[in-house]
């Protein structure tokens, strides 16, 4: 999955960063010296990558925003730490705070890449929704406008939207208006491989932000869909990097399994970011950094980025496996095959994760109920064999009784 290098880290931005933060340290491959040099690190912008065929260089780390009392401080701190890509959405409640920032510092608007999102009822509905978003943001354009979380939550089947004529006409109208430079969608739906395939086929959208894991099996449908999008020039942005395990459990495991990365001065989350950035198909990673420590640590990790070696990547993956993940990572279903069952073990465990970790309790129950009786019946399955076959080593013997208790 790492053979693609069309969207490699922008060399100019990377070398400028290195020059200001300690070029000799970078040349020698020592990120520790860079991380130690706080004052210099704060002065430079984080490295950039080109966002697909848009040709725009975006920060490899982007600030996910949300409504909070600290928003104003976080925005300014992220900017001061070199982040030039900010992500918001109607539902995050952070647009008014970002608008206030623009009013207080008008020079900021043109120097950042601004993304917002909304839930249109149809592709054409994006046009009116975009006007509302601009009013909330107190700006006359955004760089990228997303259909937010395309998938099961939409009132009508949206699977074909990414290749529809209606979306094509809508994107043309939006670009002509100058209100958004680029258009795409975000997606963390179970069927995200299908949405990405449609996008690659349609070649209409400029960018997609997608739930991602650094350990996606290269033979999975989702991985192939990511390849197809990348090949089609669609910019890719990673999100929800630790959607499967309990984040705290995962972060506690990283120092045990990846001591070499800790010795480089990375935090556990920084190690995960390096694993994600090692996949050069992704131009940027969206992280909802909630305090200034997280902004400092992650922007320093970005400035010190160098692709992980295979053994380092494996050490982060081992941390992930040790954190007892519950979310299916989207392979072709070898768990059920190995366990000798027709039960949709991947879907079932995905719904359990939505219920337990993501707070979508009603949706999780509804989606579970919508499965056929056969897909819900794991009786007689060899759960240990299923676990052994699963690339994420999901512990079905522990997870499925919770499904029985909470979703059935
Ligand atoms: S083997 Fe694991 S990743 Fe593959 S479908 Fe089953 S649960 Fe999902």
* DSSP codes of every residue in 119-140: --SSSTTHHHHHHHHHHHHTSS
Q: For residue 382, what are its two tokens?
A: 């060899």
pLDDT for the residue numbered 40 = 52
For ligand 1, whether the C-beta of 334 sits within 6 Å is yes
Among protein residues, the one with the nearest Cα to ligand 1's atom 1 is: 390
Q: Is any atom of ligand 1 closer than 6 Å to the C-beta of 349?
A: yes
- Predicted confidence (pLDDT) at residue 392 exceeds the cutoff of 90: no
Q: How far is residue 97 CA from its own chain's centroid? A: 23
Q: Is ligand 1 within 6 A of the CB of residue 333?
A: yes
Candidate of 190, 345, 385, 386 to mutate for ligand 1, largest count of ligand atoms within 8 Å of Cβ: 345
For the ranges 44-48, 214-218, 252-256, 306-310, the lowest mean pLDDT is seen at: 214-218
Reply yes or no on whether the pLDDT at 246 is more than 90: no
In short, whether 329's Cβ falls inside 6 Å of ligand 1 is yes
Cβ neighbours, 10 Å, residue 351:
27
Q: How far is the CA of 327 from the centre of ligand 1 (A)?
A: 8
Split at pLDDT 50, 70, 90, the class of 39 is low
Reply yes or no on whether the pLDDT at 4 is more than 60: no
Question: Ligand 1 pocket, 217 CB below 6 A?
Answer: no
Tell me which CATH code domain 11-320 carries.
3.20.20.100
341 burial via Cβ count (<10 Å: 0-12, 13-18, 19+): buried
Q: Parse the chain into domains and list their residue ranges.
A: 11-320, 334-406
Ligand 1 and 139: CB distance under 6 A: no
């Amino acid at each position: 999955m790492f053979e693609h290098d069309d969207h490699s880290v922008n060399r100019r931005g990377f070398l400028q960063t290195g020059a200001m933060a300690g070029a000799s340290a970078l040349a020698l491959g020592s990120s520790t010296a860079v991380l130690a040099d706080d004052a210099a690190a704060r002065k430079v912008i984080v490295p950039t990558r080109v966002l697909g065929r848009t040709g725009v260089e975006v920060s490899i780390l982007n600030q996910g925003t949300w409504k909070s009392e600290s928003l104003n401080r976080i925005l300014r701190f992220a900017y001061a730490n070199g982040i030039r890509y900010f992500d918001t959405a109607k539902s995050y409640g952070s647009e008014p705070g970002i608008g206030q920032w623009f009013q207080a510092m008008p020079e900021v608007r043109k120097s950042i890449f601004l993304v917002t999102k909304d839930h249109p009822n149809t592709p054409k509905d994006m046009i009116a929704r975009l006007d509302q978003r601009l009013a909330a943001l107190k700006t006359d354009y955004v760089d990228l406008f997303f259909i937010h979380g395309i998938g099961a939550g939409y009132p009508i089947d949206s699977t074909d939207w990414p290749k529809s004529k209606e979306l094509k006409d809508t994107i043309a109208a939006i670009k002509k208006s100058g209100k958004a430079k680029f258009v795409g969608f975000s997606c963390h739906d179970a069927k995200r491989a299908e949405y990405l395939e449609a996008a690659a086929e349609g070649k209409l959208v400029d960018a997609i932000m997608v739930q991602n894991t650094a350990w996606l099996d290269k033979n999975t449908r989702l991985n192939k869909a990511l390849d197809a999008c990348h090949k089609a020039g669609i910019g890719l942005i990673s999100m929800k990097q630790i959607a499967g395990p309990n984040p705290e459990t995962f972060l506690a495991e990283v120092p045990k399994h990846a001591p070499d990365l800790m010795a480089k001065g990375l935090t556990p989350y920084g190690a995960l970011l390096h694993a994600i950035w090692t996949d050069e198909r992704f131009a940027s990673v969206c992280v909802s950094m909630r305090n200034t420590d997280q902004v400092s640590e992650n922007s320093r990790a970005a400035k010190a980025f160098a692709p992980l070696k295979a053994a380092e990547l494996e050490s982060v993956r081992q941390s992930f496996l040790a954190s007892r993940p519950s979310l299916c990572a989207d392979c072709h279903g070898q768990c059920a095959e190995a366990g000798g069952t027709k039960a949709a073990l991947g879907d079932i465990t995905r719904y359990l994760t939505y219920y337990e970790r993501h707070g979508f309790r009603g949706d999780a129950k509804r989606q579970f109920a919508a499965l056929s009786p056969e897909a819900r019946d794991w009786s007689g399955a060899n759960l240990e064999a299923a676990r052994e076959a699963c690339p994420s080593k999901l512990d079905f013997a522990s997870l499925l009784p919770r499904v029985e208790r909470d979703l059935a």
